[in-house]
């Protein structure tokens, strides 16, 4: 699969819940359909909460990948 190029990147590394989740949802609200948001996190609970809550703002989680020790990249597409 080709690398998805995000339209926006939210670097939430160093932030703990609920900040990454709240900021992701806030950003999704402002995005247009088809746009891609990349969220960088290093807080394990965010890895559960962001994918669980993204659909509430019209987001579809395309991928969750581990980018390092306790670091993840979540890619969300606005429907």
User: Domain total for the chain?
Assistant: 1
* CATH code: domain of residue 59: 3.30.110.40
Query: pLDDT by residue (tens digit) across 4-53?
Result: 799 999 999 999 989 999 999 999 999 999 999 999 999 999 999 999 99
Domain ranges, residue 29 = 8-78
Query: Would residue 3 count as lying in a domain?
Result: no
Q: Which of 17, 19, 40, 62 is the catalytic position?
A: 17
Q: pTM, whole model, 2 decimals?
A: 0.94
54: annotated active-site residue:
no
Print the SS3 string covering 38-72: EEEECCHHHHHHHHHHHHHHCEEEEEEEEEECCEE
Query: Would residue 12 count as lying in a domain?
Result: yes
């Amino acid at each position: 699969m080709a690398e998805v190029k995000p339209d926006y990147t939210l670097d939430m590394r160093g932030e703990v819940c609920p900040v990454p989740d709240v900021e992701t949802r806030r950003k999704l609200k402002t995005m247009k359909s088809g746009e891609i948001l990349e969220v960088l996190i290093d807080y394990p609970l965010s890895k559960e909460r962001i994918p669980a809550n993204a659909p509430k703002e019209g987001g579809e989680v395309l991928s969750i990948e581990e980018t390092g020790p306790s670091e993840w990249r979540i890619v969300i597409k606005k429907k």
